[in-house]
């Protein structure tokens, strides 16, 4: 149980295009989902927290207009990188907190984004 998937697992796009990454909780409902970014050989940095049905809360320094987060259902959150540039290339990881839990998070396998 407690499986989180991400799609796609990797994506290559041209500079200036937008890319959407999906995060799904497959066997549980998640009221809260988190989006992290990980640079090579670095730790995970929290980008934003999304709660189902409400606006995401972004961490300081994260551009909300560039990284659009939607959490339309209890099993799906999406991260759209708008007008992507090479510096947006990174490993993006989501996690999901089950509806009936206040102290658990389950991580997805990550999405490798490369912007040319």
Partner 1 sequence: AQSVTQPDIHITVSEGASLELRCNYSYGATPYLFWYVQSPGQGLQLLLKYFSGDTLVQGIKGFEAEFKRSQSSFNLRKPSVHWSDAAEYFCAVAPNYGGSQGNLIFGKGTKLSVKP
Question: Applying CB under 8 A, which residues contact partner 1?
Answer: 4, 6, 34, 42-46, 49, 91, 93, 95, 102-110, 112
Query: Is the CB of 84 or the CB of 92 nearer to partner 1?
Result: 92
Query: Is the CB of 23 or the CB of 81 nearer to partner 1?
Result: 23
Nearest approach, Cβ of 53 to partner 1 (angstroms)? Answer: 19
Nearest residue to 87 (alpha-carbon basis) of 114, 67, 49, 106: 114
Please state, in angstroms and rounded to a whole number, the distance separating the CA atoms of residues 40 and 12: 16
Nearest approach, Cβ of 95 to partner 1 (angstroms)? Answer: 8
Query: Is the CB of 74 or the CB of 91 nearer to partner 1?
Result: 91
- Strand partners for 62: none
Please state, in angstroms and rounded to a whole number, the distance separating the CA atoms of residues 38 and 34: 13
Nearest approach, Cβ of 19 to partner 1 (angstroms)? Answer: 18
Nearest residue to 71 (alpha-carbon basis) of 101, 95, 100, 102: 95
């Amino acid at each position: 149980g407690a499986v989180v998937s991400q799609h796609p697992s990797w994506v290559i796009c041209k500079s200036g295009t937008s890319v959407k990454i999906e995060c799904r909780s497959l066997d549980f409902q998640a009221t809260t989902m988190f989006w992290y970014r990980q640079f090579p050989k670095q730790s995970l940095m929290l980008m934003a927290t999304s709660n189902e049905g409400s606006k995401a809360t972004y961490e300081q320094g994260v551009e909300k207009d560039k990284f659009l987060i939607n959490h339309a259902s209890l099993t799906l959150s999406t991260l759209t990188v708008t007008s992507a540039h090479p510096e947006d290339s990174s490993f993006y990881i989501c996690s999901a907190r089950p509806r009936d839990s206040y102290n658990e998070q389950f991580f997805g396998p990550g999405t490798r984004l490369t912007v040319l």
